[in-house]
Structure 1
Amino acid sequence: MILRISLFLFSLFGYRVVFKQLVKLNERVSWVASCALITLVLYFSAYLGQLYIVGISLFAIGCLLGAGYLVKQLKEKTLRPPTLNLLTIWLLFYFLLFAATLLTTHLVHYDNYSHWAIIVKFLYTEGRLPAAGDAIISFSSYPIGSSLFIYYATLIGGYSDSVMLFGQFVFIFSCIYAFFAVVKDESRALVITMLFSFIAVFNHFNIAIRMNNLLDDFLLPMLTLAGIAGLYRMQLKYRQMSVFLVLIAGSLSIVKNSALFFTAVLIVYYISRIIVNWKFYQKKGTVVSIALCSIASSFIPYILWSQHVKNNLESSKHEVNLAAYQQTFGEKDQAVIQQISDKFISTITNLGTPSTEGILLANLILVTAFIVIRFVLKRKSSIVRY
């Protein structure tokens, strides 16, 4: 299993080389871009009924790309071991700690989690998308985005609880690694420490979802933040920024129906970066054309899934559309709506709830960092503004 998982990671390394060397994406975001690419390619191949063949082909191509890069580096005598600075050591420790734990962990089944375990097993055994006649899940309108990457992990690493959990963690860790794209100077220990503090906050308050299951609720914000970090770092390179948007927003839109909100956040931030840096772009007409095409392309995976559900599957209570919302709210009287509103307000204002504590703690870290930089180190800082 360790050998097969190593090959799985090596195939990701091959695609990471392409994004870094050819596409010129930032090194920190090249891993999450690789995960997103594999997810989208498998997603489109599933509609063609070629899931297994494409999955094996992706693995073979990734390994060839990785091996080709290493052979070239050896011939040119430019192959160097990775730099082991403090950031790399801590990230490696974080990865190995969770990997060793998850590879000996069994799945936790509760709530709608069983969907992700069942759909991955269905993809693994049947090699196709489920149809209405299969009736393996009751909420068929859920997209299958993240389950496709987990399927890819099981296809190479073998089907087991631990491999599925490890595959999900690799996707999440690629997002965490992308966070550090915002750090332009790795010698700035305070900024790096602040980012690690946020990661600690995420893990501490992630008690409702945790990592010993395949629920995608934790992946949604992590993938969104990774997208924002990459867009921020590459904002002056609009071509690379647009490629990255299509990959992240496209894969994000099919993680879950509610992911459309996060996709919209990512697109709004993308547009804001173009507006802010408008004066630095020379071919403004080209920028507008590429931006419009990128935004439109980001919604193609979700539109395709919506059509698939409409044409092949029965509707479910988890659909995201105006008619579904009207039916849901039409069944609730004013007293129920008021009760839900009161519960929401009381939850977000209660200092004892993990979500409120997490928001307060994250802002406390930012304010503390600003005070230290501005008044202790006597340097200007734009942390509060950003």
Structure 2
Amino acid sequence: MALIGLIIFIIAQLGYAGSIRMVGVNKYMAWITSMIIQTLLLYIMAMLNWLRFGLRAVVILGCILFLVRMVMAIFKIQKIPFEGFHYFDLWMIVIGLSLGTTLYSSPLLHYDNYSHWALIVKYLLLQGHLPIASDAIISFTSYPPATALFITQFVTWVGFSSGAMLVGQFLLIWAGLYAVFAVLRDYTRSTNAFILCLTISLINVFNIAIRMNNLLVDFILPVVAAAGIAGVYVYRHQPRLQCVTAFLFGSELFLIKNSGTMYVVMIGFYLLYLLMKNSKEIKWFKRFGKSLGLTALTMVGSYLSFF
């Protein structure tokens, strides 16, 4: 793995995550949200046939955002309050590093002949554009490329290998699982956090059908959906940020797999419920109409990327 490329990639992630926190994004939601933003930027670049440029430009933009944040911090232009460091943060870091190191040295299992995601990542890296119908590397016509684009961005900077692809996908999974901790109301109470840590452990132990040592998207899909639902809940008193979050995660789910539609519908209904519940409108029909309008606009917007 290219150490310099890895450092640049990490700096870019810090730049994106830190920048969106400055506009009110939750600490635990920041990582997966910033990765989704990068994926959507890459998707736009790919649709414009600028993928090769985008794989570098998106990361460079993150590094620029990091430098801007450092300058703002040095001159005390804007300060992000420190929200504390809890034991489950340390747990996620230690377990994440252990799993990431293990995956990097693990062989890539490829037991699904239907979706050759490793081949698509290699194709994106070497050819610099999305596969088309005449390319014989896939056996199906609809392959939402969200995770493949992020993995391709990762291996562009750290070097192409089976382990690097697994680590790139693992970053998405682990960031999504970390976002679930945002639902905790009191971080000083250890019981709920312990239950979440235990649940994450059990998922990895009993997830026999879909392990992390392959590039199938079936594990990422529910993880991203859970993070999206957590975001809709966390921003329940910030309807604008709530709708933007639902839009981003809905767009990502549509672009991960066709069956992501089911999870988008779940996010949409939950968004509608919370908008109605926290609306300041007194009359129920005004509350319902406004909430339904915002939800419909958000869900239609998230479908546009897939469309």
2:209 matched residue in structure 1: 208
Shift of 1:65: 0.5
Question: Which residue of 2 is the match for residue 56 of structure 1?
Answer: 56
Which residue is 1:69 aligned to?
69
For 1:124 and 1:36, the matched residues in 2 are separated by 19
Whether the 8 Å CA contact 1:236–1:280 is kept in 2: the answer is no
- What is aligned with 2:46? 46
Distance 1:107 1:123, change over 3 A: same
Query: What is residue 94 of structure 2 aligned with on the other side?
Result: 93
| Code of the aligned partner of 1:199 | I
User: SS where residue 66 of structure 2 aligns?
Assistant: helix
Partner letter of residue 92 of structure 1?
Answer: I
Larger Rg: 1
User: Take 1:246 and 1:79, find their aligned partners in 2: how far apart are those partners?
Assistant: 25
**What is the identity percentage for the equivalent residue pairs of Structure 1 and Structure 2?**
34
Distance in 1 between residues matched to 2:224 and 2:211, nearest whole Å: 16
Q: How far has the Cα of 1:250 moved from its partner? A: 0.3
1:27 is matched with: 27
Question: Which has the higher mean CA deviation after the structures are superposed, 248-257 or 73-82?
Answer: 73-82
Could you tell me whether the CA contact under 8 Å between 2:9 and 2:154 is conserved in 1? Answer: yes
Q: Is the 8 A contact 1:165 1:214 kept in 2?
A: yes
Is the contact between residue 113 and residue 213 of structure 1 (CA under 8 Å) also seen in structure 2?
A: no
Residue identity matched to 1:258: S
1:187 aligned partner: 188
Q: Which residue of 2 aligns with 1:121?
A: 122
Q: Quick one: which of 284, 295, 299 aligns to 1:295?
A: 299
User: Retained in 2: the 8 A contact 1:113–1:215?
Assistant: no
Residues 102 and 142 from structure 1, CA distance in 2 versus in 1: closer, same or farther, beyond 3 angstroms?
same
1:289 CA displacement: 4.8
Q: Which runs of 5+ in 1 are unaligned?
A: 304-386
Q: CA RMSD in A?
A: 2.3
Partner residue in 2 for 1:10: 11
Given that 2:22 and 2:80 are in contact with CA atoms closer than 8 Å, whether structure 1 keeps it comes out as no
Q: For 1:214, what is the secondary structure of its paired residue?
A: coil
Structure 1, residues 100-123: CA drift from partner, whole Å, max 9, x if none? 112222211212376100000010
Structure 1 residues 152 and 33, CA, compared in 2 at 3 Å: closer, same or farther?
A: same
Does residue 228 of the first structure (1) align with residue 229 of the second (2)?
Answer: yes
Contact 2:180 2:227 in 1 (8 A): yes
In 2, Cα distance between the equivalents of 1:113 and 1:200?
A: 29
Task: Report matched runs for 1:95-114 at 5 Å.
Answer: 95-112=96-113
CA contact (8 A) 1:120 1:148 kept: yes
Shift of 1:290: 4.0
Q: TM-score normalized by structure 1?
A: 0.73
Change (3 A) 1:148 1:188: same
C-alpha displacement of 1:85? 2.8
Letter in structure 2 aligned against 1:102: L
For the residues of structure 1 that align with 2:175 and 2:72, how far apart are their CA atoms? 26
| Distance change (3 Å), C-alpha of 1:289 and 1:268 | closer
- How far apart are the structure 1 equivalents of 2:161 and 2:30? 27
Matches of 1:74 and 1:210 in 2, distance apart?
44
Query: Structure 1 residue 258: deviation in Å?
Result: 1.2
1:376 maps to what in 2? none
Cα gap change, 1:113 to 1:141, in 2 (>3 Å): closer
Rounded to whole Å, the distance in 1 between the matches of 2:20 and 2:218 is: 27
Displacement of 1:55: 2.0
CA distance in 1 between counterparts of 2:46 and 2:242 reads: 27
Separation (CA, whole Å) in 1 of partners of 2:81 and 2:237: 29
Give the aligned residue type for 1:248. Answer: F
Deviation of 1:53 (Å):
0.8
- How do residues 1-386 of structure 1 correspond to structure 2 at under 5 angstroms? 1-22=2-23, 24-76=24-76, 83-112=84-113, 115-279=116-280, 289-303=293-307
In structure 2, do the counterparts of structure 1 residues 84 and 25 end up closer, same or farther at CA, with 3 Å as the change threshold?
Answer: closer
Q: CA deviation at 1:273?
A: 1.1
Paired positions, count: 302
CA distance in 2, matches of 1:80, 1:245: 25
- Distance (whole Å) between structure 2 residues aligned to residue 224 and residue 192 of structure 1: 20
Counterpart of 1:302 in structure 2: which amino acid? F
Contact 2:114 2:139 survives alignment (8 Å): no
- Alpha-carbon offset, residue 3 of structure 1: 3.0
Instruction: Give CA deviations for 1:55-104 in whole Å, capped at 9, x if unaligned.
Output: 21111110010122123223339799995431221111111111111222
Greater displacement, 152-161 / 234-243: 152-161
Once residues 301 and 115 of structure 2 are traced to their aligned partners in structure 1, the CA distance between those partners, rounded to angstroms, is 31
**Does the CA-based 8 Å contact 1:154-1:163 persist in structure 2?**
yes
1:337 is matched with which residue? Answer: none
Q: What's the TM-score once normalised by structure 2's chain length? A: 0.91
Secondary structure of the 1:25 match is coil
**Deviation at residue 177 of structure 1 after TM alignment:** 0.9
Task: Confirm or deny: 8 A CA contact 1:239 1:290 kept in the other structure.
Answer: no
Q: 2 CA distance for matches of 1:255 and 1:20?
A: 25
